[in-house]
Structure 1
Amino acid sequence: MKKSLGYQTTIDFYDCDENIIDSVSVIENILTTAAKIMNLSVVNTTIHEFSPIGISGVVVIKESHIAIHTWPEHKYVALDFFTCNSSFDLDEGILWIKEQFKSGRFEKNSNQRGFLDVIKQ
Protein backbone atom coordinates (compact mmCIF):
# COMPACT_ATOMS: atom_id res chain seq x y z
CA MET A 1 0.00 0.00 0.00
CA LYS A 2 1.42 3.35 -1.06
CA LYS A 3 1.82 6.02 1.61
CA SER A 4 -0.94 8.62 1.50
CA LEU A 5 -2.36 11.39 3.65
CA GLY A 6 -5.96 10.24 3.61
CA TYR A 7 -8.20 7.22 3.33
CA GLN A 8 -11.73 7.63 1.99
CA THR A 9 -14.50 5.09 2.35
CA THR A 10 -17.81 5.71 0.62
CA ILE A 11 -20.96 3.76 1.31
CA ASP A 12 -24.19 3.77 -0.67
CA PHE A 13 -27.15 2.53 1.41
CA TYR A 14 -30.22 1.44 -0.55
CA ASP A 15 -33.81 0.62 0.45
CA CYS A 16 -33.59 2.64 3.68
CA ASP A 17 -36.49 3.62 5.93
CA GLU A 18 -37.46 7.04 4.58
CA ASN A 19 -38.65 8.34 7.97
CA ILE A 20 -35.38 7.46 9.68
CA ILE A 21 -33.19 9.06 7.01
CA ASP A 22 -35.28 12.25 7.04
CA SER A 23 -34.86 13.04 10.76
CA VAL A 24 -32.06 15.39 11.83
CA SER A 25 -32.03 14.17 15.43
CA VAL A 26 -31.99 10.50 14.41
CA ILE A 27 -29.23 11.04 11.83
CA GLU A 28 -27.08 12.96 14.32
CA ASN A 29 -27.54 10.27 16.95
CA ILE A 30 -26.74 7.46 14.49
CA LEU A 31 -23.56 9.14 13.21
CA THR A 32 -22.20 10.15 16.62
CA THR A 33 -22.89 6.69 18.04
CA ALA A 34 -21.26 5.06 15.00
CA ALA A 35 -18.19 7.27 15.49
CA LYS A 36 -17.88 5.95 19.05
CA ILE A 37 -18.27 2.35 17.83
CA MET A 38 -15.40 2.97 15.37
CA ASN A 39 -13.21 4.71 18.00
CA LEU A 40 -13.39 8.05 16.17
CA SER A 41 -13.42 11.29 18.20
CA VAL A 42 -16.29 13.68 17.45
CA VAL A 43 -15.33 17.39 17.45
CA ASN A 44 -18.45 19.04 16.00
CA THR A 45 -21.63 18.19 14.11
CA THR A 46 -23.58 20.18 11.54
CA ILE A 47 -26.75 18.67 10.07
CA HIS A 48 -29.03 20.56 7.67
CA GLU A 49 -32.63 19.62 6.86
CA PHE A 50 -33.84 20.52 3.38
CA SER A 51 -37.40 21.46 2.52
CA PRO A 52 -39.45 19.50 1.75
CA ILE A 53 -37.19 16.48 2.46
CA GLY A 54 -33.57 15.38 2.64
CA ILE A 55 -30.63 15.89 4.93
CA SER A 56 -26.97 16.78 4.48
CA GLY A 57 -24.48 16.88 7.28
CA VAL A 58 -20.92 16.65 8.44
CA VAL A 59 -19.49 15.20 11.62
CA VAL A 60 -16.03 16.64 12.12
CA ILE A 61 -13.83 14.10 13.85
CA LYS A 62 -10.26 14.48 15.07
CA GLU A 63 -9.32 11.95 12.41
CA SER A 64 -11.03 14.07 9.65
CA HIS A 65 -14.78 13.82 8.83
CA ILE A 66 -17.97 11.86 8.18
CA ALA A 67 -20.34 13.33 5.57
CA ILE A 68 -23.93 12.27 4.84
CA HIS A 69 -26.53 13.08 2.21
CA THR A 70 -30.00 11.52 2.25
CA TRP A 71 -32.68 11.20 -0.41
CA PRO A 72 -35.71 9.85 1.49
CA GLU A 73 -37.85 9.90 -1.68
CA HIS A 74 -35.42 7.33 -3.13
CA LYS A 75 -34.74 5.54 0.18
CA TYR A 76 -31.04 6.23 -0.46
CA VAL A 77 -28.14 7.50 1.67
CA ALA A 78 -24.63 8.47 0.55
CA LEU A 79 -22.10 8.33 3.40
CA ASP A 80 -18.39 9.25 3.28
CA PHE A 81 -15.69 8.59 5.85
CA PHE A 82 -12.37 10.40 5.45
CA THR A 83 -9.62 9.50 7.91
CA CYS A 84 -5.98 10.50 8.19
CA ASN A 85 -4.70 6.94 8.51
CA SER A 86 -5.76 3.40 7.65
CA SER A 87 -5.73 2.02 11.19
CA PHE A 88 -9.46 2.52 11.74
CA ASP A 89 -11.72 -0.51 11.25
CA LEU A 90 -14.96 1.01 10.00
CA ASP A 91 -16.76 -2.26 9.20
CA GLU A 92 -18.50 -2.74 12.56
CA GLY A 93 -19.80 0.82 12.50
CA ILE A 94 -20.93 0.55 8.87
CA LEU A 95 -22.93 -2.61 9.61
CA TRP A 96 -24.45 -0.91 12.67
CA ILE A 97 -25.45 2.11 10.54
CA LYS A 98 -27.00 -0.25 7.96
CA GLU A 99 -29.17 -1.73 10.70
CA GLN A 100 -30.19 1.71 11.97
CA PHE A 101 -31.20 2.88 8.49
CA LYS A 102 -33.01 -0.45 7.95
CA SER A 103 -31.11 -0.60 4.67
CA GLY A 104 -31.79 -3.58 2.43
CA ARG A 105 -28.33 -3.46 0.87
CA PHE A 106 -25.20 -1.34 0.60
CA GLU A 107 -22.07 -0.89 -1.48
CA LYS A 108 -18.72 0.10 0.01
CA ASN A 109 -15.72 1.55 -1.83
CA SER A 110 -12.38 2.65 -0.44
CA ASN A 111 -9.49 4.60 -1.86
CA GLN A 112 -6.45 6.53 -0.78
CA ARG A 113 -6.01 10.27 -1.26
CA GLY A 114 -2.96 12.49 -1.23
CA PHE A 115 -0.18 10.13 -2.25
CA LEU A 116 3.07 11.46 -0.82
CA ASP A 117 5.18 10.45 -3.82
CA VAL A 118 2.91 12.54 -6.07
CA ILE A 119 2.83 15.49 -3.68
CA LYS A 120 6.63 15.61 -3.53
CA GLN A 121 7.02 15.72 -7.35
Structure 2
Amino acid sequence: MTIEGKHIIIDGFECDSLHLNNVTFLEKLCKKAALDAGMEILYSYFHQFQPQGVTGMLVLSTSHISIHTWPEERYASFDLYTCGNPDLIAPVNFLLKELSTKKAMMYSIDRGISHPQLIKCEEITTIDPSIGGNST
Protein backbone atom coordinates (compact mmCIF):
# COMPACT_ATOMS: atom_id res chain seq x y z
CA MET A 1 0.00 0.00 0.00
CA THR A 2 1.32 3.43 -0.95
CA ILE A 3 0.94 6.47 1.29
CA GLU A 4 1.65 8.91 -1.52
CA GLY A 5 -1.27 10.73 -3.05
CA LYS A 6 -2.68 13.93 -4.48
CA HIS A 7 -4.58 16.64 -2.66
CA ILE A 8 -6.41 19.21 -4.79
CA ILE A 9 -8.01 22.27 -3.18
CA ILE A 10 -10.28 24.43 -5.33
CA ASP A 11 -11.82 27.85 -4.82
CA GLY A 12 -14.68 28.27 -7.32
CA PHE A 13 -15.91 31.80 -8.03
CA GLU A 14 -18.96 33.14 -9.86
CA CYS A 15 -20.81 29.82 -9.66
CA ASP A 16 -24.53 29.28 -10.24
CA SER A 17 -26.03 30.26 -6.87
CA LEU A 18 -29.10 28.04 -7.34
CA HIS A 19 -26.90 24.95 -7.73
CA LEU A 20 -24.84 25.99 -4.71
CA ASN A 21 -27.95 25.90 -2.54
CA ASN A 22 -29.34 22.59 -3.82
CA VAL A 23 -28.20 19.80 -1.49
CA THR A 24 -29.65 17.02 -3.69
CA PHE A 25 -27.93 18.34 -6.82
CA LEU A 26 -24.59 18.75 -5.04
CA GLU A 27 -24.64 15.24 -3.56
CA LYS A 28 -25.44 13.69 -6.96
CA LEU A 29 -22.76 15.86 -8.57
CA CYS A 30 -20.02 14.84 -6.14
CA LYS A 31 -20.99 11.17 -6.31
CA LYS A 32 -20.89 11.23 -10.13
CA ALA A 33 -17.47 12.91 -10.09
CA ALA A 34 -16.13 10.25 -7.72
CA LEU A 35 -17.65 7.28 -9.53
CA ASP A 36 -16.61 8.53 -12.98
CA ALA A 37 -13.03 8.77 -11.63
CA GLY A 38 -13.21 5.14 -10.47
CA MET A 39 -13.35 5.99 -6.77
CA GLU A 40 -15.18 3.81 -4.26
CA ILE A 41 -17.64 5.73 -2.05
CA LEU A 42 -17.86 4.40 1.50
CA TYR A 43 -20.06 7.09 3.05
CA SER A 44 -21.90 10.24 1.99
CA TYR A 45 -23.14 13.07 4.19
CA PHE A 46 -24.53 16.40 2.96
CA HIS A 47 -26.14 19.11 5.07
CA GLN A 48 -28.36 22.04 3.98
CA PHE A 49 -27.88 25.19 6.06
CA GLN A 50 -30.64 27.73 6.67
CA PRO A 51 -31.15 30.16 5.12
CA GLN A 52 -28.57 28.99 2.57
CA GLY A 53 -25.42 27.01 1.92
CA VAL A 54 -24.43 23.36 1.81
CA THR A 55 -21.58 21.34 3.20
CA GLY A 56 -20.94 17.81 2.05
CA MET A 57 -18.46 14.99 2.37
CA LEU A 58 -17.84 11.76 0.53
CA VAL A 59 -15.62 9.35 2.41
CA LEU A 60 -13.77 7.27 -0.18
CA SER A 61 -11.84 4.07 0.18
CA THR A 62 -8.82 6.14 -0.90
CA SER A 63 -9.66 9.31 1.09
CA HIS A 64 -12.34 12.01 0.55
CA ILE A 65 -14.13 14.68 -1.47
CA SER A 66 -15.70 17.63 0.30
CA ILE A 67 -17.64 20.72 -0.76
CA HIS A 68 -18.73 23.85 1.07
CA THR A 69 -20.90 26.51 -0.58
CA TRP A 70 -21.80 30.15 -0.04
CA PRO A 71 -24.61 30.80 -2.57
CA GLU A 72 -24.90 34.46 -1.56
CA GLU A 73 -21.27 34.93 -2.64
CA ARG A 74 -21.54 32.54 -5.63
CA TYR A 75 -18.54 30.71 -4.12
CA ALA A 76 -17.75 27.03 -3.57
CA SER A 77 -14.73 25.35 -2.04
CA PHE A 78 -13.79 21.77 -2.93
CA ASP A 79 -11.27 19.37 -1.51
CA LEU A 80 -10.26 16.18 -3.36
CA TYR A 81 -7.73 13.90 -1.74
CA THR A 82 -6.84 10.40 -2.78
CA CYS A 83 -3.88 8.12 -2.38
CA GLY A 84 -2.14 6.64 -5.37
CA ASN A 85 -1.65 8.59 -8.56
CA PRO A 86 -5.13 9.17 -9.99
CA ASP A 87 -6.03 11.85 -12.53
CA LEU A 88 -7.99 14.38 -10.47
CA ILE A 89 -8.21 16.98 -13.25
CA ALA A 90 -11.22 15.33 -14.92
CA PRO A 91 -13.36 15.33 -11.74
CA VAL A 92 -12.24 18.90 -10.96
CA ASN A 93 -13.25 20.10 -14.44
CA PHE A 94 -16.53 18.21 -14.19
CA LEU A 95 -17.44 19.81 -10.83
CA LEU A 96 -16.50 23.31 -11.99
CA LYS A 97 -18.37 22.95 -15.28
CA GLU A 98 -21.56 21.65 -13.68
CA LEU A 99 -21.58 24.59 -11.23
CA SER A 100 -21.11 27.06 -14.12
CA THR A 101 -17.92 28.32 -12.46
CA LYS A 102 -16.41 31.31 -14.25
CA LYS A 103 -13.06 31.36 -12.43
CA ALA A 104 -11.26 28.99 -10.08
CA MET A 105 -8.01 28.70 -8.19
CA MET A 106 -6.62 25.18 -7.92
CA TYR A 107 -3.96 24.24 -5.39
CA SER A 108 -2.17 20.91 -5.76
CA ILE A 109 -0.21 19.18 -3.03
CA ASP A 110 1.63 15.87 -3.17
CA ARG A 111 0.85 13.93 0.02
CA GLY A 112 2.98 11.33 1.79
CA ILE A 113 6.16 13.12 0.73
CA SER A 114 8.76 13.38 3.49
CA HIS A 115 10.56 16.46 2.16
CA PRO A 116 9.51 20.12 1.78
CA GLN A 117 7.62 21.02 -1.35
CA LEU A 118 6.01 24.00 -2.97
CA ILE A 119 2.24 24.05 -3.26
CA LYS A 120 1.36 24.36 -6.93
CA CYS A 121 -1.30 26.97 -7.73
CA GLU A 122 -3.10 27.41 -11.04
CA GLU A 123 -5.83 29.83 -12.06
CA ILE A 124 -8.56 28.22 -14.15
CA THR A 125 -10.58 30.68 -16.24
CA THR A 126 -11.77 28.39 -19.02
CA ILE A 127 -13.63 25.32 -17.90
CA ASP A 128 -13.37 22.53 -20.48
CA PRO A 129 -16.93 22.17 -21.89
CA SER A 130 -16.18 18.69 -23.27
CA ILE A 131 -15.91 17.27 -19.74
CA GLY A 132 -19.04 16.44 -17.85
CA GLY A 133 -22.56 16.49 -19.10
CA ASN A 134 -25.95 16.69 -17.54
CA SER A 135 -25.56 15.49 -13.96
CA THR A 136 -29.14 15.94 -12.81
TM-score (norm 1): 0.86
Return 5+ residue gaps in structure 1 as ranges: none
Matches within 5 A, 1:1-121: 5-85=4-84, 87-116=85-114
Deviation of the 1:97 alpha carbon? 1.0
Q: Whole-Å Cα distance in 2 between the matches of residues 51 and 101 of structure 1? A: 20
Q: Whole-Å Cα distance in 1 between the matches of residues 71 and 62 of structure 2? A: 29
> What RMSD, in angstroms, separates the aligned Cα atoms of the two structures?
1.8
Greater relative contact order, per chain length (Cα 8 Å cut-off, separation 6+)? 1
Deviation of the 1:41 alpha carbon? 1.1
Deviation of the 1:6 alpha carbon? 4.2
Higher fraction of helix: 1
What secondary structure, in the 3-state scheme, does the structure 2 residue paired with 1:115 have?
Answer: coil
Q: Whole-Å Cα distance in 2 between the matches of residues 26 and 53 of structure 1? A: 14
- CA distances 1:25-78 after superposition (whole Å, capped 9, x unpaired): 000000000001211111110001111101111101111000110000000000
Moved over 2 A (4+): 3-7, 112-118
- CA distances 1:65-111 after superposition (whole Å, capped 9, x unpaired): 001100000000000011122x1101111111111101111111111
Equivalent in the alignment of 2:124: none
Deviation of the 1:113 alpha carbon? 3.3
